[in-house]
Amino acid sequence: MAKRKKDDEYRTFQDEWTEEFAFVERAGSAVCLMCNDKIASMKRSNVKRHFDTRHATFASKYPAGDSRKKACQELLSRVQASQQQLHVWTRQGDYNSASFAGSLAIVRNGKPFTDGEYAKTLMLDVANELFDDLPNKDKIIKRIQDMPLSARTVHDRTIMMAKQVEETQVKDINAAPFFSLALDESTDVSHLAQ
């Protein structure tokens, strides 16, 4: 009963959710550090449910307490480091974070680089209707128009992000005291083991 009461009382992000469930607050939502999913209702039970069901492996690998705390802190610092890298990139030339976000969405969904142009047209068409009653509609439309999202841009941004992922992996592997390799064997058409 006490727990339920507590849940109803707090409808704001609780700092301890970061160490308990790997969640952070971003723009008024609770955001999962592992899968980037947003939870709009700031309820402990919802955050916990997401963590327990979607990240059961992580949950059992790092039981609640010190080991969970440490693992979540590591996750957080990794996410912060990659955000800093994104800020560095977006400060250069015409790079802007929106075009990185767009490129990431395209490749995450397994779509071709050329879909950037289509996505931009779609955003413009929708914005034209959706923001029709807003005083700053023109400004919004201009921002979308100025966002670089050509096939070439999506390609370049993707390479930059992929390189950063690889660099982070190498850095993490070098920093780890141990690591394990999982190897599998399969056979080719002539039944030779590969």
Type and span of the H or E element at 39: strand 38-39
Toward Zn ion, which CB reaches closer, 34 or 105? Answer: 34
CB 144 within 8 A of CB 120: yes
Phi, psi of 32 (to 5 degrees): -75, 130
32 binds Zn ion (CB under 5 A): yes
Report how far residue 108's alpha carbon sits from residue 21's, in angstroms, rounded to the nearest whole number. 24
Determine which residue in the list 35, 64, 88, 165 makes contact with Zn ion, applying CB under 5 A: 35
User: Cβ of residue 131: shortest distance to Zn ion, in angstroms?
Assistant: 31
Toward Zn ion, which CB reaches closer, 34 or 59? Answer: 34
Toward Zn ion, which CB reaches closer, 55 or 120? Answer: 55
Determine which residue in the list 7, 31, 34, 156 makes contact with Zn ion, applying CB under 5 A: 34
Q: Applying CB under 5 A, which part among 27-35, 84-92, 97-105, 181-189 lies near Zn ion? A: 27-35
Toward Zn ion, which CB reaches closer, 34 or 101? Answer: 34
State the helix-helix crossing angle for 97-108 and 115-130, rounded to 10 degrees. Answer: 120
User: Cβ of residue 56: shortest distance to Zn ion, in angstroms?
Assistant: 11
Toward Zn ion, which CB reaches closer, 34 or 104? Answer: 34
User: Cβ of residue 109: shortest distance to Zn ion, in angstroms?
Assistant: 17
Report how far residue 160's alpha carbon sits from residue 82's, in angstroms, rounded to the nearest whole number. 12
Length of the chain as a residue count = 194
Residue of minimal Cβ distance to Zn ion = 32
> Nearest CA to 24 among 72, 69, 94?
72
Sign of CA dihedral 100, 105, 111, 115: negative
Residues 52-111 that bind Zn ion (CB under 5 A): 54
Q: Applying CB under 5 A, which part among 50-58, 103-111, 130-138, 161-169 lies near Zn ion? A: 50-58
DSSP state of 187: B
CB 59 within 8 A of CB 71: no
User: Cβ of residue 14: shortest distance to Zn ion, in angstroms?
Assistant: 17
List of residues contacting Zn ion (CB under 5 A) = 32, 34-35, 37, 54
